Chain A
Amino acid sequence: MSDFSIFEYGLGILQALLIIVLSPLIVGIMRKIKAKSQKRIGAGICQPYYDIIKLLRKDEIVSDQSSWIFRVTPWINFVTTASAAFFIPVFLIYSPFGVVGDVLLVVGLFALGKFFMMLAGLDVASSFGGLGSIREMMMSVLVEPALFMTIFVIALFYDGTNISTIVSSANDTSILIVPGILFALIAFFIIMMAETGKLPFDNPSTHLELTMIHESVVLEYSGKNLALMEWSHAIKQMILFALFVDIFFPWNFVEQISLVGISIGILVFITKVSVLASFTAFIETLVAKWRLFRVSDLIAMAISSSMIGVIFFFL
């Protein structure tokens, strides 16, 4: 393995910070596009930033039934999600921290955050929290096989689970030459919608017992803790988007490191992610929330799609 200089590690940290800092912006863009496509005006795209700053300054109320699990969860959630951002290439073709962990570690970090989130939902002794927790539990159980199968397909086609290796071999080929990866794309897209709580799975904009999943888990949070929860959700979404564009649309990475090159790289990255975000926002406008027990049909589709991907690789 080649060793990286301090400068390159600095660039790696810059990449992670970009993901962390830009994530609320993507949320804002998606909300704006959703509002526009539903003929509403909608808040400005910087609104999530104002929300987070406002929440960070507020006093908080904690349920008297809760234990330290409840108070620790937002921190664990944020730290695991933000750490996962260190492994994602943004404008470079690699991440200097790629040696430390691979895509399975990223999945594991997400799962750790989710585990504590489900516990926090149970901790407050209200039925809302429990309701959110079991739904979240069911979804994550079902998504898991699809996720690992998709990782398997990607690892087969692009030799490795190391994200830097995946992205660089993806950069050498194109989607038209490796058609099996198309199946992985479909599966990954469905998983992405499920993991970030998008519309056929979960309606993030309502507080209605029938529909909410993620919202009911964070229902009891306020102040700083709520800000951290919301922000880590945004970061998770950003990481999944970034992985999606890195794996399936790996064009325009910076090769010579210069100030101009890097700023162009960042701009290209933001454009790619915003296009993807707008696309998902449109899909969200088009579909309705599915009944909870029908969601498994959609995930079954992701599973079978990645299964065919495997077949395409081998036969």
Chain B
Amino acid sequence: MAFVGFGTKAGMVPLHIWKPKVYASAPDNTSSLMAAVMLKIAIYGIVRHLFDFNAIDSSPDYVWLGMGIIIIGSISALVGILYALVENDIKRALAFSSIENVGIIFIGLGLSVVFAAFHLPSLSVLSFIASMFHTLNHSIFKGLLFMTAGSVHYSTHTKNIEDLGGLIKKMPWTAMMFLIGSVAIIGLPSLNGFISEWLTLQSLLAVFQIPSNVLQVSLAFAILAFALTIGLAGATFVRLFGVTFLSKSRSVNAANAIEVPKFMLIGKAILASSCIILGILPFIGMNLIVSAFNLPYMPSSPFETISITNSDDSNFASLMMPGVLVILTSVFVGVFVFVRIIGGKTKTMKYGTWDCGFGNLSEKTQYTATSLAEPIRRIFGVFYKPHNDIDADFYTKKNLYLKKSINVISTTRNIFDEKLYGKTISGSLFVLNKIRKIQSGKVNAYILYIMVTLVALLLFVGFGTHE
């Protein structure tokens, strides 16, 4: 029960529908605070409940509880990011992405419970740190992103990214902050999101130490959902940043935008620099977590390597962000010198974008936010039920290729709003209708029934003899 309550607060699927609506309508400064702090209270509540009120022992109940948390976490992550991807309201998109991040945190927590139930304390601590570090990171970069989104709203008076564009030239510092936030949230190296996602992945990789085949395989498949989430998050923020800040302005408001006052930038700069510092020296954050939760784990110096070893002392995986930074800088210097020596000094000219010789590239020819999401909308059509209303106006009725104007209204639906909450009443009728459809006359369908029955029976027999 406690899990359902706190879960609703943290915004897990399917109890998440309040969240995008509230975040989008809250004032700009409040929503960043809400994302950063309120969400974490819910997670804190769950953590306390799990680890304090009932000491975890190796009863199968805890295994199933952990598995349940992982499953809900994966679904939240996937569904949250899928809806973030098609959302045109920048703040709603960020709210959906919060749901995704809560999902990732839950995956870590659930793994921690499962490991603890199987008496694997070191792995349990590893995944717990992963999940808590992601919580910390999320409050930093999500706060940053909501603040920058607020600044955009402040100077353009719109939250619809279809009306934005080209803001990087008008608001360079805000754009920079949003870029840092995006790189951090999609878990790219050298910022803090990478570390926590790396740790979560490593704890997912460690499932082979669980002594149960079924759990091993099903947890291994959880990695699919996790990886898909990471990929979709990348696409989401390419789209958000690209449409909001790059290319040409799509409306007058965006074209007349000005940079926000300095004091609004300072707060963001602090958050952005903590993203960078925690990315390069992750042990600062981890030591905080270790001391806060009193974990049986030694705090270490900030420059140390994160390292996981096998039983035979060979290196399973290790990561040393300062070292990565050194390599990146030295490569950069090397390339810069090389290019200078070989290439010499060259001039750079400014000229219009290549227009295929037609001329007049306007802001209408560039890709819009909706068209950027189109391929993914098509592939994951199950979740969106995409629907295009095409309304074409022809010059003559004879030639349908000469169009005067064409108006496409393309909509996506939130299946959770509609299907789960709208259809609970009509659901029973629906089920009855389905039952009537069993006798369809399709040969395939009949064989499907046979197969389902067979599989069910075989599984039943298998379990029955096993116990």
Q: Which residues of A contact B (CB under 8 A)?
A: 1, 53, 56-69, 75, 78-80, 82-83, 86, 97-102, 104-105, 108-109, 111-112, 115, 118-119, 122-128, 130-131, 133-135, 137-138, 140-145, 147-149, 152, 155-156, 159-162, 164-165, 168-169, 219-220, 223-224, 227-228, 292-293, 296, 303, 307, 310-311, 313-315
Q: Is B344 an interface residue (CB 8 A)?
A: yes
Check A314 against B216 for contact (C-beta < 8 Å). Answer: yes
Q: Which residues of B contact A (CB under 8 A)?
A: 168-169, 179, 183, 186-190, 194, 198, 201-202, 204-205, 208, 213, 216-217, 220-221, 223-224, 226-228, 230-232, 234-235, 238-239, 241-243, 246-248, 305, 307, 310, 314-320, 323-324, 327-328, 331-332, 335, 339, 342-344, 346-355, 361, 363, 365-367, 371-372, 374-376, 378-379
Distance between Cα atoms of A109 and B223 in the complex (Å)? 20
Which single member of A97, A160, A310 contacts B217 (CB below 8 Å)?
A: A310
Which single member of A65, A144, A228, A293 contacts B339 (CB below 8 Å)?
A: A228
Closest B residue to A111 by beta carbon equals B188
The total number of A-B Cβ pairs within 8 Å is 272
Q: Report if A141-B342 is in contact (Cβ < 8 Å); known contacts: A105-B189, A152-B220, A159-B316.
A: no
Closest A residue to B167 by beta carbon equals A67
Question: Could you say which residues of chain A place their CB within 8 Å of the CB of B235?
Answer: 137-138, 140-141
User: Would you call the interface of chain A mostly helix, strand, loop, or mixed?
Assistant: helix
Check A80 against B328 for contact (C-beta < 8 Å). Answer: yes
Distance between A146 CB and nearest chain B CB, rounded to angstroms = 8
11 interchain pairs, CB-CB under 8 A = A102-B318, A123-B246, A125-B248, A138-B379, A145-B228, A148-B226, A160-B310, A161-B205, A220-B353, A220-B354, A227-B343
Question: Could you say which residues of chain B place their CB within 8 Å of the CB of A118?
Answer: 238, 242
Closest A residue to B85 by beta carbon equals A141
Closest A residue to B225 by beta carbon equals A145
Q: Report if A314-B379 is in contact (Cβ < 8 Å); known contacts: A53-B342, A109-B189, A122-B242.
A: no
Distance between A106 CB and nearest chain B CB, rounded to angstroms = 9
Check A59 against B213 for contact (C-beta < 8 Å). Answer: no
Question: Could you say which residues of chain B place their CB within 8 Å of the CB of A311?
Answer: 217
Given contacts A148-B223, A314-B217, 14 further A-B contacts (CB under 8 A): A56-B342, A62-B351, A75-B335, A79-B331, A80-B328, A83-B327, A112-B188, A138-B235, A141-B235, A141-B376, A149-B223, A155-B317, A161-B316, A162-B317
Question: Could you say which residues of chain B place their CB within 8 Å of the CB of A62?
Answer: 348-351
